A and B are shown apart, each in its own frame.
Chain A
Amino acid sequence: MTRYIFHKEDSRHHEFNEWLDSKKTFSFADYYNPKRMSFGALRVFNDDTVQATKGFGRHPHDNMEIISIPLEGSLIHKDNLGNEKVVKKGEIQLMSTGSGVFHSEYNHEQDKATRFLQIWIYPAQLNNAPAYSQVAINEAKSQHQFSTIVAPEEGPHTARIQQDAWLSIGHFGAGETFRYDIRKKDNGAYVYLISGNIEIDGHNLSAGDALGISDTHSFSGTIKSQDTTILITDVPMNLEK
């Protein structure tokens, strides 16, 4: 029987200071809610807005697949693997942090805020060699259908993740319908609405809302407004950590 977890936008933990406005879906840093720990292998889903030139200084990561998706503006990333990259709207960055990476991450814009999704997924294996990838989203292919932006296999517009996980993005218009087939048995789909309005199995989602769907092979939805953008994170639900 299909299971649903509905996360309304205003149910996210919201905290801000002079440079960071962060909306956290799941428990992270000082925010602790035992009912909001993860959706399967999806452990972190933060919607962060960083003020111009500000950001996160050099800090470590390991054993996490960390995906950054700018929604407005751009980030500048530097790491000890030798990468120094600007990641802008329309691109995604994936760090397989494995056996350890140090990096910094700042808003690259000099005069405006950058908003980005920060997504952490548990890796399939521990302590692999770190890896970095950055790809441009195929905007043409993501019109009126879902385009894969993260997958276990690398592609020209697909970053390689070290987990049986897939991220897909699609831009739709009012009145369109979609069907999504979950990629693997025992995976679930976390549907995050970046913009617009949709309905899935009786659940009405507005921008910032999310619906976790599991114990099913597929689901369908109806687009309720123009300029609707949907991000689907398809992850294993049963983890042996």
Chain B
Amino acid sequence: MTSNISLRLLAIGYHPEIMQVLHRLMNSHSGWKGDIATSLEEATSLITNNTYDGILLAVGVTPEDETFIRTQVEITAPDTKIIRHYGGGSGLLENEIRTTFENLTTK
């Protein structure tokens, strides 16, 4: 269960209001600590200066942006999981995180 461990997450997306909701949802979840970035520049800075377990690619992030982010992550923190987030809120978020980390945390 992810609720028993600590996950450091970064969500990147370009819709400020939706990102505020994601920020609140991530940090209201026991065991998660979430940051948000609403631009590629902000994301680059956060990725460079922090270590994340998972990076959520959220609203507005294009396939080209994704390639750029993946390249950066491979250089700075190759163990970080990249997760595409759909839906904009609570419906799929927990499932996306658990699908990515459940096997790791139950080992």
Contacts and interface: CB of A to CB of B under 8 A. Distances in A.
Given A60-B88, A100-B60, 4 more contacts: A32-B94, A32-B95, A62-B58, A63-B86
Interface residues of A, number: 25
B94 A122 contact: no
A157 interface: no
A29 B15 CA distance: 22
A99 B60 contact: yes
Interface string B83-107: 0101111111011001100100000
Contacts of A101: 88
Contacts, number: 71
Nearest to A27: B95
Interface in B53-107: 58-63, 84, 86-92, 94-95, 98-99, 102
Contacts of B62: 126-127
Interface in A162-183: none
21 contacts: A28-B91, A29-B94, A32-B95, A34-B99, A44-B92, A60-B15, A60-B17, A60-B88, A60-B89, A62-B58, A62-B59, A62-B88, A63-B59, A63-B86, A64-B87, A97-B87, A97-B88, A100-B60, A102-B17, A127-B62, A241-B86
B94 A100 contact: no
A20 to B, nearest CB: 14
A108 interface: no
A18 interface: no
Nearest to B97: A32
Given A99-B59, A100-B18, A102-B17, A29 B86 contact: no
A43 interface: yes
Given A32-B98, A34-B102, A127-B59, A122 B86 contact: yes
Contacts of B92: 28, 43-44
A241 B95 CA distance: 15
